[in-house]
Chain A
Amino acid sequence: MDFSFSDEQSLLKDSVERFIQNDYAFDARQKLVKNEPGFSTDNWKTFAELGWLGVPFAEADGGFGGGPIETMLIMEQFGRGLVVEPFVPTVVLVGGMLRIAGNRAQKEKYLAHIVDGTLQGAFAFAEPQGRFNLADITTTATKTESGYVLNGHKAVVINGPSADLLVVSARTSGQQRARSGITLFIVEKSATGLTRRDYPTVDALRASEVHLQNVTVPKSAVLGRVGKGLDVIEQAVDEATLAIGAEAVGCMEVLYKATVEYCKTRVQFGQPIGKFQVLQHRMVDMFMEYEQSKSLMFMAAMRLAEGYGPEAQKAVSAFKVQVGKSGRFVGQQAVQLHGGMGMTEELSVGHYFKRLTMIDTMFGNVDHHLKRFGAL
């Protein structure tokens, strides 16, 4: 058993931490999210220069040979800074699926550009009727002489507006919720018949409703094996769940500490409100929720690093359940203890709360992952 980080891991963590502290001020973030494209392309270049966009890829593919633990370290710090740059959709999801299932030509064509920061991605997996079931897919992919024709509606595609490349899950065979018959397709933004309706999300990200109307793609656009896409999706989504869970842990750390500081300075009834036991115990509860989440974050990362299988799936679902409950509690109590100030758009606290609330929903909420945990 070993809970220590390697030298490389510590350096990575320190470098991200320094960036967040020195170069990612909350005020600047607020300006970014109100303008197009909703994040800083300069920051994205910096991420590429610092090597972060290549962290989870093999050295042979131009990456740094890292894995779930490195992704966790980056995302925990991103959570502390409330980073809006699309690292999860581009690197963890699209990059992850290319890493897991891409053939040589696809890796050569796309991964190098993800790593150098010139290519952005989005994963169009959800559908309006499907809720959290990754296999609930009605989008069709019909085989033709030269490739496939895609038709369907993909919902809440995070980073859709900026993505050069979409990975789309579609049905090549089978019934609506069947596990088999799902195939992944790489679709370029400019594809004829692809239309988007773009919008901001409440946690200051950008998303799209993506409509595919007779979009033709060549055979070479198939990512992984025909009809076996769900295995790839599940692994990539579990890795992304660890990523956003780690982000939530970073958010919770900021919130419990900010709340403690605020309660030390806010004076009511002639004393700092942090002197009141009822609030002290609430903050201890926030601290405990943070620590318990952090523990399962380590567990999920270590299980994923050991190899993908039921143990890893179980650990990820346990982590997501914990993060969903803890994030909600810590976020809500942080707003509550900041009083009226916690309600304002001006203070960062509410923005962390919004992000935590959305993280609970993303890739399946507490109920969904409890059910999955129990079935594994």
Chain B
Amino acid sequence: MDLKLREADLEFQAEVRAFIDRHWPTHVRSDAYEFEASTATPAVRQWFDALVARGWSVPSWPIEVGGTGWTPTQHYIWDRETARANCPQMSPFGARMLAPVLYTWGTKEQQARHLAPIREARVQWCQGYSEPGAGSDLAALSTRAVRDGDHYVVNGSKTWTSVAHRADWMFCLVRTDPRATKKQQGISFLLIDMKTPGIEVHPILILGDQHHVNSVTLTNVRVPVANRIGEENEGWTYAKGLLTHERTGIAGVARSQVQIAQLKRIAAETSLDSGRLIDEPSFKRKIDEVEIELMALEVTELRTLASVEQGGAPGPESSILKIRGTEISQRISDLTIEAYGYYGVPYPQQRLIDNEGPIGPELAVAALKEMLFGRASSIFGGSNEIQKNIISKAVLGL
């Protein structure tokens, strides 16, 4: 039992660092964190192209479809190093969410058509799950798909759809059998081209006027039956399968470590009375408390990786990663805004549009955006309350 990296892992770490220095050099890095980098930016495009050329764009996929075959420790090193350098992240909707469904249950044709563009970061996917009447209770969804020859005709509406306004495709849950006895039955999993007539995307501005999510209405949208994943009415199985692939990096430990380092820097640069904010015991205590929580979470994640690495399934400790991970990153964001004092107050967009430069510290803009957007992390992907229901049932047997 020890925490040291093995020789081979140290070599891998050095290789990763060299790769990052070369393809995501310090002069293009920003301290501002973007949930999802736009591939339209040249530096970001170059980064993704370098990843593709090196075969590292989708590390967690199986080797046969372009993955790396890394050990869990290597994945951990990759996550940590890319977070430290603030590297652009691949959009999760294609690479992390849909792809495992495709390579597990998709037909040869579906795989041939869709996997390569995801791997190469040339396509934007979005996720058509939530509906106005189906949020945490996802299986209550009512978007209807009726068979018409070689097509389904889809009618209904999806909501909270991230990046739908930039998406080329949507993977979508629809109801194909409204008479099924259980609501989890009678659902199908469709791949829908966003250019199909009948699809309308309406922006929903979230806190801080950010345009990230949308409502999507589908009116008589014709989807080829060939775009259905797996069997008709079995979509719930695939949708659930997708969630189990969300393991590595779900805790966001590396990202939170970067945030804490930044928070300490800000607090050290901020004056308070005759001293510095970081020397104020009441504030320092809050930083130390969250840092200890994060240390514990890092080891919890390492324990999960270790049990996976030994060929086993992740242990029960893995179930807490999402809850604690989001609680911790939200806490750090809170403290960051607190550290900015009055300059945590100005309206974020206002500070960007002005030719005279930012009002207040430059990074405060990104910090406020991140704090506001970060509130969503304990809501999306199964809210933390739903996560607790799952642990209660699956781990505690209640």
Contacts and interface: CB of A to CB of B under 8 A. Distances in A.
Contacts of B392: 277, 280-281, 283-284
A233 interface: no
Residue of B288, B289, B300, B305 ringed by the most chain A CB atoms within 10 A: B288
Interface in A265-282: 274-275, 277, 280-281
A295 B5 contact: no
A50 interface: no
Contact of B324 (A2, A288, A294, A302): A288
Residue of B291, B299, B388 ringed by the most chain A CB atoms within 10 A: B299
B335 interface: no
B292 A302 contact: no
Interface stretch (A3-11, A74-82, A169-177): A3-11
Contacts, number: 121
A284 to B, nearest CB: 4
Contacts of A157: none
A295 B3 CA distance: 12
B296 A277 contact: no
A298 B398 contact: no
A184 interface: no
A3 B303 contact: yes
A277 B388 CA distance: 9
Contacts of A296: 292, 295-296, 299
Residue of B9, B300, B316, B324 ringed by the most chain A CB atoms within 10 A: B300
Contacts of B317: 291, 294-295
Interface residues of B, number: 42
Contact of A299 (B3, B293, B305): B3
A322 B296 contact: yes
Interface in B273-325: 284-285, 287-289, 291-293, 295-300, 302-303, 305-307, 310, 316-317, 320, 323-324
B303 A277 contact: no
Contacts of B68: none
B381 to A, nearest CB: 17
Nearest to B310: A4
Residue of A5, A69, A293, A298 ringed by the most chain B CB atoms within 10 A: A298
Interface in A231-261: 260
B297 A292 contact: yes
A283 B307 CA distance: 24
Given A4-B310, A260-B396, A264-B398, A292 B2 contact: no
Q: Summarize A's interface: helix, strand, loop or mixed.
A: helix
B320 A288 contact: yes
Contacts of B320: 287-288, 291-292
B293 A292 contact: yes
A229 to B, nearest CB: 28
Contacts of B377: none
A373 interface: yes
Contacts of A12: none
Given A292-B296, A292-B324, A321-B292, A3 B302 contact: yes
B397 interface: yes
Contacts of B385: 281
B4 interface: yes
Given A287-B316, A291-B316, A306-B4, 20 more contacts: A1-B5, A1-B305, A1-B306, A2-B1, A4-B1, A5-B1, A274-B398, A277-B389, A281-B392, A283-B392, A287-B320, A295-B297, A298-B1, A298-B299, A299-B3, A302-B2, A302-B3, A306-B2, A322-B296, A370-B292
Interface of B: 1-6, 9, 73, 284-285, 287-289, 291-293, 295-300, 302-303, 305-307, 310, 316-317, 320, 323-324, 385, 388-389, 391-392, 395-398
Interface of A: 1-6, 9, 69, 260, 263-264, 274-275, 277, 280-281, 283-285, 287-288, 291-296, 298-299, 301-303, 305-306, 315, 318, 321-322, 370, 373-374
